[in-house]
């Protein structure tokens, strides 16, 4: 079953307003409703979102992680901010032309310096909370995750895979091998054998021609021709 995470990620209560303005959006209720319909069947989650509310994003992340069926994440455009957290919720791939962006949590606040100090503390704690998704997925340290967020890091598809935030790049066919003294056949040999199996008549003809050529060469050497 296909589930889209597109547009701005918003709280459930804000959906009517965004819909009224015609702004594409995704809420936790949207995802929970889709998961109920999926009823344990495999799901494919397609992400193209610049992010939005971190708590709505966190709720969606939790819903996908807790889903009992197979969850496949596909980043097809942008997975930024809160959407990048959602992208960490399952086995994932990314389009070669897509990107992942991570950054610090931000907020607007009004008040005196005590309010500003308090908000700074809240934002730093929120950063650590969001970093938990990257740490869980990639196995990186909290220090590295927070440093990545602090720099507002934009990652190409391959960079996201190299950092283990995404599992693979779409449309690539690469055989990866981790084996010492492996007996695995080279890809060129496999392709040659497959071609032989698929085209036995042509291959038998080639062998016949090769044998005939060898026979003629032998006769020439003996002076019989």
- Provide mean pLDDT across the span 100-120: 94
3-class DSSP assignment, residue 179: coil
Q: Is 176 exposed, middle or buried (0-12, 13-18, 19+ CB in 10 A)?
A: exposed
Is the predicted pLDDT of residue 201 greater than 80, yes or no? no
Check whether residue 117 and residue 202 sit in a common domain. no
Dist CA 204 CA 78 (whole Å): 52
Please write the tens of the pLDDT for every residue from 146-190. Answer: 999 999 999 999 999 999 999 999 987 555 554 454 455 566 665
Domain total for the chain?
Answer: 2
CB-CB contact of 53 with 11 (8 Å): yes
DSSP state of 213: H
Range of the structural domain that residue 211 is part of? 187-222
Check whether residue 84 and residue 191 sit in a common domain. no
Check whether residue 6 and residue 113 sit in a common domain. yes
Check whether residue 87 and residue 155 sit in a common domain. yes
Check whether residue 163 and residue 59 sit in a common domain. yes
pLDDT for the residue numbered 7: 96
Q: For residue 221, what pLDDT band results from cuts at 50, 70 and 90? A: low
Please write the tens of the pLDDT for every residue from 43-71. Answer: 999 999 999 999 999 999 999 999 999 99
pLDDT for the residue numbered 190: 59
Tell whether 176 is covered by a domain: no
Is the predicted pLDDT of residue 191 greater than 80, yes or no? no
3-class DSSP assignment, residue 79: strand
Tell whether 145 is covered by a domain: yes
Tell whether 101 is covered by a domain: yes
Check whether residue 210 and residue 160 sit in a common domain. no
Check whether residue 81 and residue 139 sit in a common domain. yes
What six digits make up the tokens of 216?
A: 């003629």
CATH number at residue 41: 3.90.226.10
Tell whether 177 is covered by a domain: no
Check whether residue 130 and residue 212 sit in a common domain. no
Tell whether 180 is covered by a domain: no
Considering only residues 178 and 76, tell me which one the structure prediction assigns the higher pLDDT: 76
3-class DSSP assignment, residue 25: strand
Tell whether 178 is covered by a domain: no
Tell whether 182 is covered by a domain: no
CB-CB contact of 83 with 5 (8 Å): yes
pLDDT for the residue numbered 193: 66
Considering only residues 108 and 102, tell me which one the structure prediction assigns the higher pLDDT: 102
Which helix (H) or strand (E) segment holds residue 7: the answer is strand 2-9
Check whether residue 149 and residue 195 sit in a common domain. no
Check whether residue 159 and residue 203 sit in a common domain. no
Is the predicted pLDDT of residue 20 greater than 60, yes or no? yes
- Provide mean pLDDT across the span 29-40: 98
pLDDT for the residue numbered 34: 98
CB-CB contact of 13 with 41 (8 Å): no
User: What is the residue-averaged pLDDT of the chain?
Assistant: 87
Dist CA 79 CA 49 (whole Å): 5
Tell whether 52 is covered by a domain: yes
pTM, 2 dp: 0.76
Check whether residue 137 and residue 208 sit in a common domain. no
pLDDT for the residue numbered 172: 74
Q: 20-24, 36-40, 44-48, 126-130: which has the minimum mean pLDDT?
A: 20-24
Q: Quick one: what percent of the chain has pLDDT higher than 90?
A: 74
Nearest C-alpha neighbor of 86 from the set 98, 96, 97, 100: 100
Check whether residue 208 and residue 98 sit in a common domain. no
pLDDT for the residue numbered 224: 52
Listed in sequence order, the residues at least 6 apart from 206 whose beta carbon sits closer than 8 Å to its beta carbon are none
Helices assigned H by DSSP within the chain = 15-21, 28-38, 54-66, 82-86, 113-138, 142-150, 157-162, 187-198, 200-222
């Amino acid at each position: 079953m296909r589930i889209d995470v597109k547009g701005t990620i918003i709280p459930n209560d804000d959906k009517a307003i965004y819909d009224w303005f015609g702004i594409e959006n995704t809420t936790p209720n949207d995802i929970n409703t889709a998961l109920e319909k999926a009823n344990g069947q495999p799901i494919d989650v397609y992400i193209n979102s610049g992010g939005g509310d971190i708590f709505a994003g966190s709720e969606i992340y939790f819903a996908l992680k807790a889903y009992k069926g197979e969850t496949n994440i596909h980043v097809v455009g942008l997975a930024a901010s809160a959407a990048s957290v959602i992208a960490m919720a399952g086995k994932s791939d990314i389009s070669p032309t897509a990107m992942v962006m991570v950054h610090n949590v931000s907020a607007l606040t009004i008040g005196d310096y005590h309010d500003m100090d308090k908000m700074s503390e809240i934002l730093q704690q929120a950063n650590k909370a969001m970093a938990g998704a990257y740490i869980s997925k990639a196995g990186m340290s909290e220090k590295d995750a927070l440093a990545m967020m602090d720099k507002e890091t934009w990652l190409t598809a391959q960079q996201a895979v190299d950092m283990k935030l995404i599992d693979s790049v779409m449309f690539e066919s690469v055989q990866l091998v981790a084996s010492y003294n492996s007996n695995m056949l080279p890809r060129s040999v496999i392709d040659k054998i497959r071609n032989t199996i698929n085209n036995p008549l042509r291959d038998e003809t080639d062998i016949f021609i090769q044998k005939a050529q060898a026979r003629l060469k032998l006769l020439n050497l003996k002076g019989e021709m």
